[in-house]
Structure 1
Amino acid sequence: MSNRYSNCSGLTSVTIPSSVTSLGEWCFEDCPKLEKAIFLGKLPQNTISCGLQSTCIFYVPKAYLQDYKDALGSKYSYIYASKDSESGEQKPNERCAVPTISYTDGKLTFASATPNAEYHYTITDTDMASDAYSKDGVVKLSAAYNISAYATADGYEPSDNATATLYWVEANLQNTTTNINQTATRGIIVTSNDGIVTLSGLNNDETVRFYTVDGKQLGAAKAVNGAASQAVSESIVIAKMGNQTIKIAVK
């Protein structure tokens, strides 16, 4: 910052942005009414020789209060932490809560704990193909969609990404039906985070058993509100629901 403020007889307060790293020597010289200086960042170089009167009141970010006192305390007696509403470095906005991903009643659903959140998502399908080639006429389908979603809301930073996989599996019908509209498949959402595997889109009270890839049972969970979870330590587990199985990479 240059010395352009010197001899400003009407100047009563000044705000130093956090982007200012150095003050010009005597830049506030002969500013007799300058009573308050608000600093929005770390202590700029040469502050003690910038020409502010010894009676000037300093308001500085709380995080750097001691730094200002150590550097300026021999000359300036009035150094205080800024009120949050008055100054200090601008605090980053709080992040949106990471959304949950679920699939129920034929609908893919995102939900975030942040009020009025909106959702941005990407769905990829490894089966997608155009003008592909098969020598023997056999194409193995994964029957899975990879889903990534994050949440945004006014006044919040975007959330981190949530990821899940939607598996299409044979419908495990609890009641025999001849309804022609009854679908033959259902969608099961699988998420894994910090060693917790969660399946949603299940029938209530449906039991999911979890196995290692070599067949050792790790545990079982009964679905509540269509979801069942299991803590696992393996990098890959097999989830089994009746005669349907899903191979899951654990994150």
Structure 2
Amino acid sequence: MGNGCFSGCSGLTSITIPSSVTSLGTSCFYNCPKLEKATFQGKLPSNITNCYLQSTCIIYVPKAYFQDYKDALGSTYPYIYVPLKDETSGEEKPNEQCAVPTISYADGKLTFASSTPNAEYHYTITDTDMASDAYSQDGIVKLSAAYNISAYATADGYKASDKATATLYWVEANLQNTPTNINQTATRGIIVTSNDGIVTLSGLNNDETVRFYTVDGKQLGAAKAVNGTASQAVSESVVIAKMGNQTIKIAVK
């Protein structure tokens, strides 16, 4: 495989490399952000450490060469597996996939949970408000007060789960007051997730009511929090969740 042969291929999600490939070109997988699975069918190709394979990629290798791949790639690549065998056909099949984790927030703690036993979690948090030596002509900066969170689960003998996504919103904890000094503002975290048309909010007060509206103000329904969590099925692509005088705009997946 030539140098940079898949470089910049943003749509590449999986690849099978046959046993006839004996060498990988430098940077052949450079800037392939969606590459999640690579299956090697032969012995360890030369130059594998310079191919820029994503360290989060799930790598399947033949059992006979498993240790060769582990030794060459080292601890930077923790997800190297030997595919399981289908007992009836003898064909190789991927490891069972970890259950997608849930993301919740309560008592000042962000929590991930998966139904897969002994799951471990890998997460990314981005904050659009982060800035360094930024510039503002008029001295006014609008804060989004939101963190974007993604997480996936892994466990020994399992394929990595699909990613779960959520948004952590910081809203005023005291809805009766409107402080003007940022140091006086008491806040609480509300986690919002949406999947298959179900919107879920966690981090709420017990028995707190959340009302859901369309963007043009039509009420879709209401849900009361149980154990700090409230859910609502919606058919809109964008909804507004309202808690007291606080509102959150949610893109529904």
TM-score (norm 2): 0.61
Structure 1 residue aligned with 2:171: 169
Structure 1 residue aligned with 2:94: 92
- Unmatched 5+ stretches in structure 1: 1-18, 21-82, 175-181
Contact 2:175-2:245 within 8 A present in 1 as well: no
Structure 1 residue aligned with 2:32: none
Q: How well do the aligned residues superpose, as a CA RMSD in angstroms? A: 2.2
Contact 2:211-2:223 within 8 A present in 1 as well: yes
- Aligned mates of 1:153, 1:183 — CA distance in 2: 41
Change (3 A) 1:88 1:210: same
1:68-147 matches, within 5 Å, as 85=87, 88-147=90-149
Contact 2:197-2:233 within 8 A present in 1 as well: yes
Q: Deviations along 1:124-146, whole A, 9 cap, x unmatched?
A: 00001111100000000000000
- SS for the counterpart of 1:165 is strand
- Aligned mates of 2:156, 2:127 — CA distance in 1: 31
- Unmatched 5+ stretches in structure 2: 1-17, 20-84, 177-183
Asked if 1:201 corresponds to 2:203, the answer is: yes
Following superposition, the deviation at residue 90 of structure 1 comes to: 2.0
**Higher Rg of the two aligned structures:** 1
> Identity percentage over the alignment?
91
- SS for the counterpart of 1:203 is coil
TM-score (norm 1): 0.62
Structure 2 residue aligned with 1:210: 212
Following TM superposition, the consecutive aligned residue runs of length 4 or more in structure 1 with deviations greater than 2 angstroms are 83-87
- Aligned mates of 2:195, 2:140 — CA distance in 1: 35
Following superposition, the deviation at residue 101 of structure 1 comes to: 0.1
- Aligned mates of 2:185, 2:132 — CA distance in 1: 27
- SS for the counterpart of 2:92 is coil
- SS for the counterpart of 1:199 is strand
Q: Give the total of aligned pairs.
A: 164
Structure 1 residue aligned with 2:194: 192
Following superposition, the deviation at residue 92 of structure 1 comes to: 1.3
Structure 2 residue aligned with 1:15: none
- Aligned mates of 1:222, 1:133 — CA distance in 2: 43
- SS for the counterpart of 2:190 is strand
